[in-house]
Amino acid sequence: MLFRSTMSTSPDIRVCPSGPEWLAQACGLFRDLSAQAIQSHGRCVIALSGGSTPKALYEALTSTDWKFQCQWKQMVFLFGDERAVSPDHPDSNYGLAQAALFRPLGIESSQVHRMTGESADLEQAAEEYERTIRNITNCPPPAIPVLDLVLLGLGEDGHIASLFPGTPALAERNQLVAVGRSPKGISARLTLSLGVINRATVVLFLVTGAGKAHTVRAVLQPQTPAERALPAARVRPDCTRLIWLLDDAAAAALTR
């Protein structure tokens, strides 16, 4: 099912039925996109998204249907954002990935680089994570490192990672990692900045549910300047692919 986008960058928009079919498409994209990076340069540096959507993806990827299809040992895991909590906190994005993905697959701790959300000094934690990313990618400043694959969810307010509308983190242009502020729930966050997200080789949005339909339409088929300025609408990879994988509920407000 094809939909046109009125964004300046024409993303690859894919829609499929909710549930098992959407999960199969998500796992297939994860398998294929990571394999392409590994084939190209021997590894895939992935930034995982947060929130609740990834849980179903992780559970599918660790199932016997998929876990043998991915080259896990050639993957390096980063995080797109983290809440200001300890890794064992129920809201920790790392904690979810550790329990639902890394531990079941036996991913080596050396392959995983979490953001230290529990730090008392988040600005310092952001600087430390920037150093981590630069070391992993061997990319000294001022260049912006190229991550192979960035997974993103979509907030109902149009946020991505922890880049919320109207916040300084969204406007950050120099740092790779910033301190974000959420208007709901756990306020303080660590987040990749838009600059490093837009330098990724592939950005893959994974969005499901009727609750996101309005926001999906606003981002992909904006009708006002405010909608064009939404954080998710500002994800336009400079170099290559932008893919949206939507279930039919999240795509319901799109027009052909």
Residues near ligand 6PG (CB under 6 A): 49-53, 80-81, 93, 153-155, 159-162
Query: How far is 129 from 16, CA to CA, in rounded Å?
Result: 36
Residue nearest to ligand 6PG (CB): 153
Coil vs helix vs strand at 25: helix
Place of tokens 């499929």: 16
Cβ nearer to ligand 6PG, comparing 43 with 234: 234
Give SS3 for 209.
coil
Shortest spacing between CB 138 and ligand 6PG, in angstroms: 26
By beta-carbon proximity to ligand 6PG, the closer residue of 43 and 236 is 236
Q: How far is the CB of 186 from ligand 6PG (least distance, A)?
A: 9
Query: Which is nearer to ligand 6PG, 36 or 195 (by Cβ)?
Result: 195
Q: Which residues are within 8 A (CB) of 49 and not within 5 positions of it... i.e. 6 or more apart?
A: 80, 81, 93, 151, 152, 153, 161, 206
Which residue has tokens 């999906």? 216
- Residue with smaller CB distance to ligand 6PG, 160 or 179: 160
From the CB of 137, what's the least distance to ligand 6PG, in Å? 21
Least separation, in Å, of the C-beta of 174 and ligand 6PG?
22
37 vs 235: CA distance, rounded Å: 20
What minimum distance in Å lies between the beta carbon of 206 and ligand 6PG? Answer: 8
Instruction: Pick between residue 38 and residue 118 the one whose CB is nearest to ligand 6PG.
Output: 118
Q: How far is the CB of 84 from ligand 6PG (least distance, A)?
A: 11
Residue 237's CB is within 10 A of a number of other CB atoms, namely 19
Helix axes 53-61, 20-41, angle to 10 degrees: 70
d(CA 111, CA 75): 7
Preceding peptide of 183 cis, ω within 30°: no
Nearer to ligand 6PG, 144 or 204 (CB): 204
Whole-number Å distance between alpha carbons of 26 and 79: 18
